[in-house]
A and B are shown apart, each in its own frame.
Chain A
Amino acid sequence: MAEHHTASDCKHKASSNAGGSVSGNGRHSSPAGCGGSGGGLSGGLTQPAGWQSLLSFTILFLAWLAGFSSRLFAVIRFESIIHEFDPWFNYRSTHHLSTNGFYEFLNWFDERAWYPLGRIVGGTVYPGLMVTAGLIHYILNLLHVTVHIRDVCVFLAPVFSGLTAVSTFLLTRELWNQGAGLLAACFIAIVPGYISRSVAGSFDNEGIAIFALQFTYYLWVKSVKTGSVFWTIGCCLSYFYMVSAWGGYVFIINLIPLHVFVLLLMQRFSRRLYIAYSTFYIVGLVLSMQIPFVGFQPIRTSEHMAAAGVFALLQAYAFLQYLKDRLTRQEFQTLFFLGVSLAAGVVFLTVIYLTYTGEYAKIHIPIIASVSEHQPTTWVSFFFDLHILVCTFPAGLWFCIKNINDERVFVALYAISAVYFAGVMVRLMLTLTPVVCMLSAIAFSSVFEHYLGDDMKRENPPAEDSSDEDDKRNQGNLYDKAGKVRKHVSEQDRPEEGLGPNIKSIVTMLMLMLLMMFAVHCTWVTSNAYSSPSVVLASYNHDGSRNILDDFREAYYWLRQNTDEHARVMSWWDYGYQIAGMANRTTLVDNNTWNNSHIALVGKAMSSNESAAYEIMKSLDVDYVLIIFGGVIGYSGDDINKFLWMVRIAEGEHPKDIRESDYFTPQGEFRVDKAGSPTLLNCLMYKMSYYRFGEMQLDFRTPPGFDRTRNAEIGNKDIRLKHLEEAFTSEHWLVRIYRVKKQENRQALDHKLRNIAAKQKYTSKKVLPSRFH
């Protein structure tokens, strides 16, 4: 509950302060900087600038703190532990990095994964995450702060969420004003859409990548605004960090060219834009190719082509501008060339569009379809992850487009593309979240600006005019037709009609209540949905007391202690990273899923009958088989529930041996009870899951062998294993491990004493024909 208070407290402060600082800052929210301009009118403060920066610092600090502490639910409830699946691999490689050093890490060939193939880890990971954690660990140790690398890994994502909040603040301040920036920082600190990927213990690429994303965008906007190479190089370095951290860097390398392209279309070409993009493209390209995993992709693959196309287009455009300055009578030609190059740009964009739709929207490969993250998004998920912000951010988008300038074009494009991708795939909600926070902050801040400020300041024009001021300053080198026609100076000069204090306070109260509900919702979602380590499970009794089910670690530790160091463990790919990380044993397949046929082979072994499976396991040198069985406690994520995916994937590679329809009843149902199909009731996975389960009576209301997950009495209670033997079953039967028996000695040949054929036999043969006489 402590977190809850912190979060909502901060929200109160933030929201009220946002209004306050805006009102103090209304006139002078010029893009270069707000804190220092000091034209404050907020009554009662003698040195407004100082107060403002103090407030900003305090609010940002509190946002950081709230964000950090609301991510600690899992640590407080359970312990400081790495969550889920992928983080275990990241942790294992970070551990390798911190013990063996950087170069050893880059050259690491992991022979414990994908037996017998192995995996070249250094060349197949985005090393940013491991290097960041390793570096922090190194520095802390240098300062004699001795922490275990695991703790660095666990707390990395919460710490970076604070950095994300700061960079979101910076970006929003560039786009709108400081008040909106502070609101945005508070939103992103606690919004569930981002927390879902960055709770303590979820040591994954996304945790640091969102910071890199926002910071890159901030520096890009800054460099477009200033046109200075300094900011652009900063942007490139930040982009480099992003490339090293997450595959989602493709989003940046398409969004920035899109921004440039749209600015060209809007005839907002400027020298600043030219400098920024040319520098960014070249330096960013060279830097991104330094990551081994990325390699030459940026000049080869289609998703990077838009950037190259826009680069060429920009050069052509700039050249034509130059010619236009020199040659006077070339207008027709200019337009002609312009048309041609625009067409080229459009072609590039279409290519990109096709790539995206092909990659994301139409995925039919079973292994990709089997991952629940790759589904389209229902509105429920939008609301669950973003709450009130999802309804508010279109308003912010509206304001941005109504008061357009170079950087607001950027945020509008960001919003539109991110919302499209989030609609196609649940997982990409993560990239939508920051822009939703920024735009909602803008909307809320505009409302507060009008309802929370003093009546005194109404004499001044409101802050949104800053864009026009900005453009006026740079009039020299742009063709700023866009929107310059309409101006509402006259409207602004109109004296304030009395918005009664009642209406003002009612609206303000309503808005504050919305924000309060948002904070409550965020805390609730974080606590209930996103703070489960999924390595340790918890169940609640009727009286609210809690049982910890630690079966996974129990089983992995058993493997670690009781098996040969080089034992090979077969399991479904979900558990590969955990087995490697916690049990330190060789696995056949893991969550990297790069080799579909290998996975299909494991799937085939699981779905064949025991003797056929034994042949496969023998050929793969399997020593142990590990399965997850939830029938005793009613855990729904177990292997029987995933089983159809194993069958499907196996069928994709071995259509002759495995058929999905064999595992259904004639009515097309998947049942484990007596009516289930005989193929299912005799396959290896079924046998291993329910071995000895038929003898077990869970309570007196149900018959023995009653599966609680599927609510059915199992159909095959008398399971005998021939080639396997049970090695270990965890306390709640969640994990079961079987040992694959070595081949038996060949049956001894009967060494009959050589008996020298007696003559009688021959005689008898001779006799034989005589019968036919």
Chain B
Amino acid sequence: MFYKLLIVVFLAVSLQGAPADGQKKKETLLSEKVSQMMEWTSKRAVIRLNGEKFRRLIRAPPRNYSVIIMFTALQPQRQCGVCKQADEEYQILANSWRYSNAFTNRIFFAMVDFDEGSDVFQMLNMNSAPTFINFPAKGKPKRADTYELQVRGFAAEQLARWVADRTDVHIRVIRPPNYAGPLMLGLLLAFIGSLAYVRRNNLEFLFNKNVWAFSALCFVLIMTSGQMWNHIRGPPYAHKNPNTGQVSYIHGSSQAQFVAETHIVLLFSILHCSRISHTAQLHTE
């Protein structure tokens, strides 16, 4: 495929000086580009672009399709929590378009990751991620072609409205229902049920205080070590200082924490707690 690309590029460059052939070549180039885009879209709803692809498919002039591009930084070391959430919504939008009946080649969804195409970021003079920009079929992006993330949020529905506004393509967002929660609950119930069924002759284990005490203890320790905060805020596991390469596991501020830090605290709590209970029970047992 890379070979094919090279040919296309070569053709495009070499035939620049031939104005008679220009129109025709342009069309073939265009159809080539469109078919290329279609091929990628059929593989993944959101096309991943790097600097070279971006220049060729988006910047280079012959183009009759709009492209919505999300500029983002998804690598874990970038620590961009919003990017991940925005990416999920964007994927939902792109998939809704990809599998809808009205799917055409008028519009494509693509993304540029900072770590793959930092030159694109420089070219567009962009400093923040995620950013959504619409590259319309004709002309350059205007001010309104940059999605106002701060104002409208990154919900797929909002994005769809914006896309409809800019390109006249109406996308009905279809969210894949989230089966994970009910599935987990069902599995848990099935597990408990099967356990009860297997042990149906002897249900004493339900009255085993150790099991209950142990699970209560786990819950309490999980809560007091701040796992709920981790769940809601989604902090990184640890922080690596990009300059020195030093990894710090404990957050400097008391308003925030790393996941690693909570694990350390959890461990200490378990140790302390078991020591106390062991000391006190030493005699009884």
Which of B239-285 touch A at CB < 8 Å? Answer: 254-257, 261-262, 265, 268-269, 272-274, 276-277, 279-285
Q: Is the interface of A mostly helix, strand, loop or mixed?
A: helix
Decide: A380 and B277 in contact? CB cutoff 8 A: no
A382 and B216 in contact, given A391-B269, A447-B280 (Cβ under 8 angstroms): no
How far in angstroms is the closest Cβ of chain A from B3? Answer: 42
* B196 in the interface (beta carbon within 8 A): no
How far in angstroms is the closest Cβ of chain A from B217? Answer: 5
Residue of A with least CB distance to B265: A379
Q: In the complex, what residues of A have CB within 8 A of residue B59's CB?
A: none
* A542 in the interface (beta carbon within 8 A): no
Write the A489-525 contact mask toward B (1 if CB under 8 angstroms, else 0). Answer: 0011000100100000001000000000000000000
* B60 in the interface (beta carbon within 8 A): no
Decide: A423 and B262 in contact? CB cutoff 8 A: no
Q: In the complex, what residues of B have CB within 8 A of residue A486's CB?
A: 209
Category for how many chain B residues contact A: 35 or more
Q: Which of B217, B223, B254, B255 contacts A420 (CB 8 A)?
A: B223
Decide: B262 and A397 in contact? CB cutoff 8 A: no
Q: In the complex, what residues of A have CB within 8 A of residue B228's CB?
A: 376-377, 420, 423-424
How far in angstroms is the closest Cβ of chain A from B35? Answer: 38
Decide: B280 and A395 in contact? CB cutoff 8 A: yes
Which of B181-238 touch A at CB < 8 Å? Answer: 204, 207, 209-210, 212-213, 216-217, 219-221, 223-229, 231-233
* A488 in the interface (beta carbon within 8 A): yes
A395 and B277 in contact, given A382-B224, A401-B213, A419-B223 (Cβ under 8 angstroms): yes
Decide: B283 and A462 in contact? CB cutoff 8 A: yes
Which of A423-468 touch B at CB < 8 Å? Answer: 423-424, 443-444, 446-447, 449-451, 462, 464
A659 and B213 in contact, given A392-B273, A394-B273, A443-B280 (Cβ under 8 angstroms): no
* B148 in the interface (beta carbon within 8 A): yes
A391 and B273 in contact, given A376-B228, A377-B228, A378-B229 (Cβ under 8 angstroms): yes
Decide: A464 and B273 in contact? CB cutoff 8 A: no
Q: In the complex, what residues of B have CB within 8 A of residue A394's CB?
A: 217, 220-221, 224, 269, 273
* A393 in the interface (beta carbon within 8 A): yes
A390 and B280 in contact, given A384-B254, A398-B217, A401-B209 (Cβ under 8 angstroms): no
Write the A518-553 contact mask toward B (1 if CB under 8 angstroms, else 0). Answer: 000000000000000000000000000000000000
CA distance A481 to B203 in the complex (A): 11
Write the B145-163 contact mask toward A (1 if CB under 8 angstroms, else 0). Answer: 0001011000000000000
CA distance A371 to B207 in the complex (A): 44
* B127 in the interface (beta carbon within 8 A): yes
Q: Which of A398, A419, A507, A667 contacts B127 (CB 8 A)?
A: A667
* A482 in the interface (beta carbon within 8 A): yes
A483 and B223 in contact, given A379-B262, A667-B127 (Cβ under 8 angstroms): no
Q: Is the interface of B mostly helix, strand, loop or mixed?
A: helix
A482 and B207 in contact, given A390-B269, A391-B272 (Cβ under 8 angstroms): yes
* B122 in the interface (beta carbon within 8 A): no
Most buried by A among B212, B232, B279: B279
Q: Which of B262, B280, B285 contacts A446 (CB 8 A)?
A: B280
Decide: B220 and A415 in contact? CB cutoff 8 A: yes
How far in angstroms is the closest Cβ of chain A from B264? Answer: 9
How far in angstroms is the closest Cβ of chain B from A40? Answer: 21
Decide: A412 and B226 in contact? CB cutoff 8 A: no
CA distance A59 to B204 in the complex (A): 43
Residue of B with least CB distance to A648: B150
* A361 in the interface (beta carbon within 8 A): yes
A488 and B265 in contact, given A392-B272, A416-B216 (Cβ under 8 angstroms): no
Q: In the complex, what residues of B have CB within 8 A of residue A395's CB?
A: 273-274, 276-277, 280
How far in angstroms is the closest Cβ of chain A from B265? Answer: 5
- Give 9 nearest A-B pairs by CB, closest first: A423-B228, A379-B226, A401-B213, A446-B280, A395-B276, A391-B272, A423-B223, A395-B277, A376-B229
Chain A residues within CB distance 8 Å of chain B: 361, 376-384, 390-395, 397-399, 401-402, 404, 412, 415-416, 419-420, 422-424, 443-444, 446-447, 449-451, 462, 464, 481-483, 485-486, 488, 491-492, 496, 499, 507, 651, 655, 659-661, 664, 666-668
Give me 8 other A-B pairs in contact (C-beta within 8 A), A390-B269, A450-B283, A668-B128 excluded: A378-B229, A379-B224, A391-B272, A395-B277, A395-B280, A416-B219, A419-B220, A659-B150
